[in-house]
Amino acid sequence: MSSSSLDLSSLMGISLGTLTLGKIISAAVTLLICLVVTRVLMKLLGRLLGRSKLDARVQKYLAAGVRLILYVITALIVVDSLGIPITSLVALLSVGSLGITLAAEDILGNVAGGLVILSARPFALGDFLEVGGTTGTVEEISLNHTKLVTPDGLMVLLPNKELASSKMTNYTVNGQRRITWKVSASYDAPTETVKAACEQALSMTDHLLTDPAPSVRLTGYGDSAIEYAVYCWAAPADYWDAYFALGEHLRTAFADHGVEMTYNHLNVHILEKKNGPAQ
């Protein structure tokens, strides 16, 4: 055996504590290979996510999670290549992760709910929602919570865990909302006249959609009035302006057509009793 081979063998056998130079070089090579493999896998994952329909934020969080897992695996492989037992390390990581999971149960639940919301997309920024007794416009969607701004200017933070499991009404997603006004008219007013007054009010109101077309329906007979319902549609952004304007125009149109808007009232008739002939 040549002297050069002996020198290399003795060099590789140099120890630093329990580690040898050969193990350190082997671990460095292993680390380099793992990093290259991680980079290739992340590029492939990026292409797959780019072809998917997932929200950009969900793609970002998934990529970060996969990268973290690959780094942890790389660390375990490198430690094992140094000859350090990883069984106890894996057990320690398991206990630590369990403790963190139990301590951050609500946070992790909110994060899971946020991922569900971002992937399923039941609502988007700017949508008007009603959920858990709260109504408002979506201002921000994060992994932990969703921010709503109520019509009276209040900011409400809803935990995503509760939001993902609660009944939710989205008033914006379909691009149109129905306006319903219920009115009553006297039994003395002909039905055609009442409908004509309602149609005049509709024609006076801006921002109403023509498809679906507005309609007026007789809906019931009350104790002292006939009940009518006026249906029309508006874009979500114009809903409240159209709603209040239609209410004002109905009153004006009823007055123009001489239709009485009835209300509950009680008529009391006093009858004078006449004395009969004396017996």
What is the DSSP secondary-structure string of 246-279?
A: HHHHHHHHHHHTT-----------PPPPPP----
* Phi, psi (deg, nearest 5) at residue 213: -75, 145
* pLDDT computed for residue 71 by the predictor: 84
Q: Tens-of-pLDDT digits for all 279 residues of the chain?
A: 444 444 545 544 555 556 666 677 777 888 888 888 888 888 888 887 777 666 666 677 777 878 888 888 888 788 777 776 666 666 666 665 655 555 455 666 767 777 777 777 888 888 899 888 888 999 988 878 889 999 888 998 888 888 877 888 898 888 899 999 999 998 989 999 999 999 999 999 999 999 999 999 999 998 889 999 999 999 998 999 999 999 999 999 999 999 988 766 666 667 776 665 554
Q: Degrees (nearest 5) of the Cα angle 63, 68, 69?
A: 100
* pLDDT computed for residue 95 by the predictor: 62
* pLDDT computed for residue 109 by the predictor: 72
Q: Where does 166-277 have alpha helices with state H? A: 191-204, 239-256
* pLDDT computed for residue 98 by the predictor: 57
Domains of the chain: residue spans and CATH:
19-103 (1.10.287.1260), 122-170 (2.30.30.60), 177-256 (3.30.70.100)
**Cis, bond preceding 159 (omega within 30 deg of 0):** no
| pTM for the model | 0.58
CA distances from 24 to 18, 20, 76, 92, 262 (A): 11, 6, 15, 24, 94
* pLDDT computed for residue 265 by the predictor: 61
**Helix/strand/coil for 139:** strand
* pLDDT computed for residue 201 by the predictor: 96
Residue type, 7: D
Q: Where does 121-213 have alpha helices with state H? A: 160-165, 191-204
* pLDDT computed for residue 222 by the predictor: 87
CB atoms within 10 A of CB 58: 20
* pLDDT computed for residue 6 by the predictor: 44
Give the containing element (helix H, strand E) for 135.
strand 134-141
Which regions of 11-104 does DSSP assign to beta strands (E)?
15-16, 19-20
